[in-house]
A and B are shown apart, each in its own frame.
Chain A
Amino acid sequence: MFRSLLVPRVAVRSAFKQQSSLPTVVAPSAIARLSKRSYATEAEQDDLVVIGGGVAGYVAAIKAGQDGMKVTCIEKRGTLGGTCLNVGCIPSKALLNNSHLYHTILHDTKARGIEVGDVKLNLGTMMKAKETAVSGLTKGIEFLFKKNNVKYVKGTASFANEREVKVNLADGGEQTVSGKNFIIATGSEATPFPGLEIDEKRIITSTGAIALEKVPESMVVIGGGIIGLEMASVWSRLGSKVTIVEFLGQIGGPGMDAEIAKASQKILKKQGMEFKVNTKVMGGDVSGDKVKLQLESAKGGKEETVRHNHSGESQCNKCTDENMQIDAEVVLVAIGRRPYTAGLGLENIGLETDDKGRLVIDQEYRTKIPHIRVIGDCTFGPMLAHKAEEEAVAAIEYIQKGHGHVNYGAIPSVMYTHPEVAWVGQNEQEVKASGVKYKIGSFPFSANSRAKTNQDSDGLVKMIADAETDRILGVHIVGPGAGEMIAEATLAIEYGASSEDIGRTSHAHPTLSEAFKEAAMATYGKAIHY
C-alpha cells in the first residue's frame, strides 16, 4: 500500500536528468509521463510470440490470429513450413509420387496393355517439380499469415528474458519482440551418425537425399525407419542399388506391428531393395571413390542378412572378408531425429532440456515458466507433423479458453512407400505386453476387388480389438492407399468404436476400403470374401 504511492526511483532519476537546470522543481505530470515511458514495453507487447514457423509454429500463429490475438511468428529459415514443407514430408512426397510413376511406366505397363517407347528420366525436371510444390505451399502459408494478421519476422530468436526475445534479423540488424505468451516450436534435426561426417553429398541426411544431383550407382541407408525406407524407395526406383542396414530385427521403426513390418520388408525386397537387419555400422571410410562401411552383427554374430548364405557360423571367413564391409557411392544417415533448441537462449530463462534434448512440459504444454509453452518435435511425443498441428491448436485453446484436446492414443503413422504402410493405436506386441485379451481380424488386398482391378494387390489390413468389449485397440495396414484409409481407423479409435461398428457400416463397392470393413468383420465374426 505504502509502496504504491512512491514514484519509481528510476523515473525520478531520469526526470532529474532531463531537467538538470532546475533540479528541485519537477512537475508531477512529467514524472508520471516519464515513469510510464520507462515501462513502455507493455503497450507494445504481443499477445503471443511464436518461435519457429514450421508446422507447429505456423498453425499456432494462424489459429491465434483467427482468434483475434496479436501474434508474431519468428522463423529463421527464410521460408515458412519448417522441415515438413521445405525438406521433409512435402518434397519427399513429390519425389515418391513421381519416382513411382517413372517406375510404373518403366516396368509395369506391358501387363496393363500399354506400350511405351523410350522412357527417360530427367532428374533436374523432377527436382524442379518438387521445388514448385514446395514454394507454392510455403508462399501459401505467407498468404495465410497476412490473411490472419500474423506478423512474420525473418530471423533467429533468442530469449533475453522471460518476456522478451531478441531477433537477429535475416536481413541484418536486431529487433526485440516482447509477448505475454510464448510458444517454442523450433522442431528437430537429423541425428548425426558418430564417426560419419555429414557433407550432404556423399554422406547425406534426408535433406541431402531429396536434392541429389544425379542418381547414385549405389546407396546404403543406415536406419530402416520411415524416412530411410521412403528415401530408399525413391532412389531404388530411379535406378540405385539400395541396401538398408537396420540395427533392430525389424524395419519400420518404433510402433510398426511386427507382422506388418515383415510383410512390408518382403514387398520392398521384391522391388529390389536389400536388407541387412540385426546389423550395426561400426564405422566408415570416406577416403576412396566409394564410402566403405564396416558392419557387425548386432546379435552376437548371428547376422541376419539377405546375402548371407555362407557357413552360418559366427566366424564366417567369407563374411569377415566381404559382407561385413559394404561400399556405396552415397550413404544416407537416417537413424532418427533429435529436438532442435540450439541458440534459443534457454539458459537466460532457466529452462532445461531432458536427456534426449526435449523441453519438459506439463499437460497444457507449459514449461515451468507457465506463459512459455512448447509444442511439436522439440518436446514429448512422436515427431510427426500432424501431431504438431494438433498440439498447436490445443495450445492456443489452452491460452484462450483454458481447455484443449489432443488424443495421443489416436495419432496415425504413415510410411509412404509403395505400397504404403499405416497404423494407429497399439500394435500386437504392445497389446500382448499390456495383458489385455484381444482378438485379431485381417484381410488381404489380394481378395479385394478394387486392388485386383488395379493390379496392385500386395498387402493386408490387420485389426486388433479387445476380446471382451470388441473396442478397437489398433489398426495396421500395408497396402495401396493405406495412408488415406488409416483416417477411418483413427476416427474409429477416437470415438471408441467396436470392430462391429465398422463391420456394419456400409463401404462403397468396389473400393479398397472394403478391405478395411472386411478386416473388421473378420475381427468380430468372419469376412465374406476370404
Chain B
Amino acid sequence: MFATKILRQAAAAERAPMIKFLGKRTTPASIDHTPKAHPASPYELPADFSKSSSPSFSSYRQKAIQHGPLGRQNTGSIGSASGQSLGSVKPAKGEYFDRNELPARFRRAPLDMSEIDAIETGGATLVC
C-alpha cells in the first residue's frame, strides 16, 4: 500500500499533463480592434483597410456636400444608379458607335497623302 503510494507520487512528479484547467472563459479586458490580416488569409491586409485611408466612393458620396448630398435624393441624376443597373452599354441592333463599324460601303474612303497635303495647303499643292 505504502509502496504504491510512493510509486504514484514518483510517477506524478515525473509527468505533468499538458492539459490544464484554466478556469471559465472570459472576454479579455483589452482587445486591439485595429484591422489585421485574417488568420486564414494568405496575404497581408490591403492598404484600404487602414483607418487613415479614404473610405469607399459610395460612402464618400453619401457624406459629401456640394449643393446637397450627391445624387442620393435626385433620382435620375448622373451617378445616382449603379452602372450595372443601367443595363448593357452595347448599342441597339442596327446602331453603331462609330462609322467604321458600319458595312464597308458606308465607311469613309481612306485618305492618301496628296489629299492631306491639299487640305493642309488649302488646295495649293494641287495647283502647283
Chain A residues engaging chain B, CB cutoff 8 angstroms: 9-10, 161-162, 345, 347-351, 354, 360-366, 368-370, 379-382, 401-403, 406, 408, 469-471, 492, 495-498, 500-501, 504
Complexed CA–CA distance, A404 and B86 (Å): 41
Closest to A495 in B: B19
Given pairs A349-B59, A360-B49, 8 additional interface contacts (CB within 8 A) = A360-B45, A360-B46, A362-B37, A369-B56, A380-B40, A501-B17, A501-B18, A501-B19
A360 near B41 with CB under 8 A, answer: yes
- 9 example contacts (A-B, Cβ-Cβ < 8 A) are as follows A10-B68, A349-B56, A351-B56, A361-B41, A362-B38, A365-B38, A408-B40, A497-B18, A500-B15
Segment at the A interface, from B26-34, B89-97, B98-106, B112-120: B26-34
Complexed CA–CA distance, A403 and B28 (Å): 8
Top 5 A-B pairs, shortest CB-CB distance: A350-B56, A381-B40, A362-B35, A380-B40, A498-B18
B27 near A401 with CB under 8 A, answer: yes
Residues of chain A within 8 A (CB-CB) of B56 are 162, 349-351, 368-369
Closest to A9 in B: B68
Complexed CA–CA distance, A496 and B20 (Å): 9
Interface string of B36-61 (1 = CB under 8 A from A): 11111111011011000001111100
CB distance from A378 to the nearest CB of B (A): 13
Residues of chain B within 8 A (CB-CB) of A401 are 27
B19 near A363 with CB under 8 A, answer: no
Main secondary structure of the interface of A (DSSP, over half): loop
Residues of chain A within 8 A (CB-CB) of B57 are 350
Complexed CA–CA distance, A500 and B49 (Å): 44
B31 near A402 with CB under 8 A, answer: yes
Is B83 part of the binding interface, using a Cβ–Cβ cutoff of 8 Å? Answer: yes
Is B75 part of the binding interface, using a Cβ–Cβ cutoff of 8 Å? Answer: no
Q: How many residues of B contact A (CB 8 A)?
A: 32
B58 near A162 with CB under 8 A, answer: yes
Complexed CA–CA distance, A351 and B68 (Å): 25
Residues of chain B within 8 A (CB-CB) of A9 are 68
Closest to A345 in B: B82
Residues of chain B within 8 A (CB-CB) of A347 are 82-84
CB distance from B72 to the nearest CB of A (A): 8
Closest to B46 in A: A360
Residues of chain B within 8 A (CB-CB) of A497 are 17-19
CB distance from B127 to the nearest CB of A (A): 59
Residues of chain A within 8 A (CB-CB) of B68 are 9-10
Residues of chain B within 8 A (CB-CB) of A469 are 18
Complexed CA–CA distance, A365 and B36 (Å): 10
A363 near B36 with CB under 8 A, answer: yes
Residue among A354, A361, A381 facing the most chain B CB atoms (10 A cut-off): A361
CB distance from B64 to the nearest CB of A (A): 13
A348 near B82 with CB under 8 A, answer: yes
B40 near A350 with CB under 8 A, answer: no
Complexed CA–CA distance, A365 and B35 (Å): 9
CB distance from A63 to the nearest CB of B (A): 16
Residues of chain A within 8 A (CB-CB) of B82 are 345, 347-348
Name the contact of B35 in the complex, choosing from A350, A366, A379, A500 (C-beta under 8 A). Answer: A366
A368-B46, A496-B19 as given contacts; A348 in contact with B58, CB under 8 Å: yes
Closest to B67 in A: A9
B39 near A363 with CB under 8 A, answer: yes
B36 near A362 with CB under 8 A, answer: yes
B38 near A379 with CB under 8 A, answer: yes
A161 near B62 with CB under 8 A, answer: yes
Residues of chain B within 8 A (CB-CB) of A470 are 18
Residues of chain A within 8 A (CB-CB) of B46 are 360, 368
A161-B58, A348-B58, A403-B27 as given contacts; A362 in contact with B18, CB under 8 Å: no
Complexed CA–CA distance, A345 and B56 (Å): 14
Residues of chain A within 8 A (CB-CB) of B83 are 347
Residues of chain A within 8 A (CB-CB) of B27 are 401-403
Complexed CA–CA distance, A380 and B15 (Å): 39
Is B121 part of the binding interface, using a Cβ–Cβ cutoff of 8 Å? Answer: no
Complexed CA–CA distance, A233 and B56 (Å): 48
Residues of chain B within 8 A (CB-CB) of A161 are 58, 62
CB distance from A363 to the nearest CB of B (A): 5
Complexed CA–CA distance, A470 and B15 (Å): 12
Complexed CA–CA distance, A348 and B84 (Å): 9
CB distance from A485 to the nearest CB of B (A): 18
Is B66 part of the binding interface, using a Cβ–Cβ cutoff of 8 Å? Answer: no
Residues of chain B within 8 A (CB-CB) of A402 are 27, 31, 33
Closest to B48 in A: A368
Is B73 part of the binding interface, using a Cβ–Cβ cutoff of 8 Å? Answer: yes
Interface residues of B in 1-30 (CB under 8 A from A): 15, 17-19, 27-28
Residue among B40, B42, B57, B62 facing the most chain A CB atoms (10 A cut-off): B40
A350 near B58 with CB under 8 A, answer: yes
A347-B83, A350-B56 as given contacts; A380 in contact with B17, CB under 8 Å: no
A345-B82, A403-B27 as given contacts; A363 in contact with B18, CB under 8 Å: no
Closest to B45 in A: A362
Name the contact of B39 in the complex, choosing from A10, A408, A492 (C-beta under 8 A). Answer: A408
Complexed CA–CA distance, A497 and B55 (Å): 45
Complexed CA–CA distance, A338 and B81 (Å): 29
Complexed CA–CA distance, A406 and B38 (Å): 11
CB distance from A177 to the nearest CB of B (A): 17
Name the contact of A162 in the complex, choosing from B31, B43, B59, B84 (C-beta under 8 A). Answer: B59
Residues of chain A within 8 A (CB-CB) of B28 are 403
Complexed CA–CA distance, A238 and B37 (Å): 46
Residues of chain B within 8 A (CB-CB) of A10 are 68, 73
